[in-house]
Amino acid sequence: MDILHRVGAKASPETVYTALTTLDGLADWWTEDVKGSADEGGVVAFRFAQGGFDMKVLETRPAEAVVWEVVDGPEEWIGTHIRFDLKQEDGFTIVLFRHEGWREEVEFMSHCSTKWATFLMSLKRLAETGTGEPAPRDVQVSNWH
């Protein structure tokens, strides 16, 4: 069971790729509290008020793909993979997003699906305007934040 999303930013693939593969870029759309190494083989620690995730960077292909494995965080996330595949279409950089390998369709998966959408819209805004909405300034979707 996977969470899927598709967003398109009026920006170059290089701009989107940089936002996915540098600590400064990740801090500008997902969470300001990010540490570690975003290079292939590195581990990135993302922290939020409610906890966080450690991601091992499995693959980085410039302007094409970024793949992470969740190595620490909520039990439901551990072992799952997160993929960002990039392509160009109609002057947009399309991000095909996939959070794959969920073991059960739990309510938390529904929450994460909606939160991913708002964070991917934050990535789109960052790429297009230079300003995203990372935590702790992220869009609140419910009582679970």
Other beta carbons within 10 Å of 71? 15
Looking at the Cβ atoms of 72 and 144, the one nearer to its own copies is: 144
Looking at the Cβ atoms of 56 and 111, the one nearer to its own copies is: 111
- Residue whose structure tokens are 């369709």: 105
Sole window of 12-20, 31-39, 74-82, 92-100 interacting with its own copies (rule: CB under 8 A): 92-100
CA–CA distance, 38 with 114 (Å, rounded to integer): 24
- Token digits for 96? 């095909």
Is residue 111 a contact residue for its own copies (CB under 8 A)? yes
CA–CA distance, 130 with 112 (Å, rounded to integer): 25
Binding site for its own copies (CB under 8 A): 1-8, 89-92, 94, 96-98, 105, 107, 109-111, 113-114, 117-118, 120-121, 124, 139, 141-144
